[in-house]
Each structure stands twice: as C-alpha cells, then as structure tokens.
Amino acid sequence: MKVLLVEDDRKILSFVKKGLKEQGFVVDACDNGDDGYDLASGQAYDVIILDIMLPGRDGLSILRGLREKKLTVPVILLTARSALQERVEGLNLGADDYLSKPFYMEELLARIHAVTRRATGAQMSLMQVGHLTVNLITREVMLGKEKVELTVREFSLLELLMRSPGRVFTRTQILEHVWGYDFDPQTNVVDVYVRRLRSKVDVNPEAPLIETVRGVGYRMIKPGEE
C-alpha cells in the first residue's frame, strides 16, 4: 500500500516511516501542512496518516479540504492524548480513525489495515486466488499447504495484484505502488520481480495465476478463472 505520512515531529516521522517501510509500504512523508495538503490532494494514496498540529496548514484544515474535494482516501489522525475536542471535530469532518500519541507501531499497522479494509469493502485479512492464500496481518503466504517465503518487495507486489484481481496494472502503476517515484520508469525491475514471484507462487503452467497483458502490464486472474 502507498501511504502519506504528515508529521512535524522529526523523531516520530523518522520512526514511523522506517516502521512502515519495513512492513513493505511505500511511504511519502513531509513535516508541514502545506506540503502535506499538496501531496494529499495531488496524488493517489491508500491511506493518509495525518498529525493535527502542523506548521502551515493544520491537519483538520487538510482533512476538511480533502473531503470538500470529495476525496475519500482513508485518514488516520495523530493527536495529543488530551485533545478530545480535536478528535471529535476530526471524526465529524470525515476522519476514519485516530491514534493518540505516544503509540505502538503494531497498533498503527492494525488501524491501517482496518481502515483500508473498510474502504475497499473487504471483510477479512485473507486474500485467496486458487490455491494461493495471503494473510495481510501475519504476512504469511501459503501455496496449498506449503509456506512460501517472499521478500518485502515480492510480498508488496503480490498484495497489489491480489487486492484487485482481474485489474491490469501497468508497469508504471506497479512502480508507483511498490517502489515509489524514486525509480526510473524505464527500468525493468517490475519484470524481474514478476519473474521471481512467478517462480515462487505461480508454478503450474497449466493454470497460471499472474498473467502478462502484452504491451500493457500484469494482472492477477479473478477467482473462478483459474
């Protein structure tokens, strides 16, 4: 998933950004409200983690602006433990959840998964196509009864494809969601990782799970097509 983190406390910003990246998220981060609003309103994110107290535009103003633009991206507010009125106002403005400082990374990760499940209509943390099952909470991948070991990038690529079975992702879209904007769009890293992923989870040539759409990109087959 692609996450925007807006937090002016450099220590918290660095800690949370590192923790999210270790879990395979693509993270854009900034430490002021003006840049945060520009990123949030100009790019597509799966979830936004937004501190309320920010230099420049404050978090509630950012949230209000996004909802006025009809942007429904899930937003988790970071608040001071005593800021009850701000939490209430944030929820009334359309925040999906809030987390009081200080907090544990495990709780933030759980809340990210919860709000994105609600946003996509998913009811479970398990995704399955054919004999392939992915647990988003434990990050366990099973092919039948055998556990499959994936790298962080391989897992992120598989998660992206399995979240939208049947949807064709271009190489540029995959780069943006799995690697971020730092990579040259001319690189062949997507094709390299798709080959690696196929060698681990797509081992039956008679019933492939990951399809190449020539000249466009890749897609995971829909359940029932295999």
Task: Pick the more confident residue, 19 or 138.
Answer: 19
What digits encode the pLDDT tens for the residues 32-90? 999 999 999 998 898 999 999 999 999 999 999 999 999 989 999 998 766 677 778 88
What digits encode the pLDDT tens for the residues 155-168? 999 988 988 888 89
What digits encode the pLDDT tens for the residues 129-149? 888 998 877 789 999 889 999
- Percent of the chain exceeding pLDDT 90 equals 44
| pLDDT of 223 | 59
Task: Pick the more confident residue, 52 or 22.
Answer: 52
Which phi and psi (to 5°) does residue 175 adopt? -60, -45
Q: 123: pLDDT confidence band, cut at 50, 70 and 90?
A: very low
- Residue 94's closest CA among 44, 163, 48, 54? 48
Domains of the chain: 2-120 (3.40.50.2300), 126-220 (1.10.10.10)
Task: Pick the more confident residue, 85 or 199.
Answer: 199
- Percent of the chain exceeding pLDDT 70 equals 91
| pLDDT of 88 | 83
Residue located via tokens 């797509």: 202
| pLDDT of 82 | 65
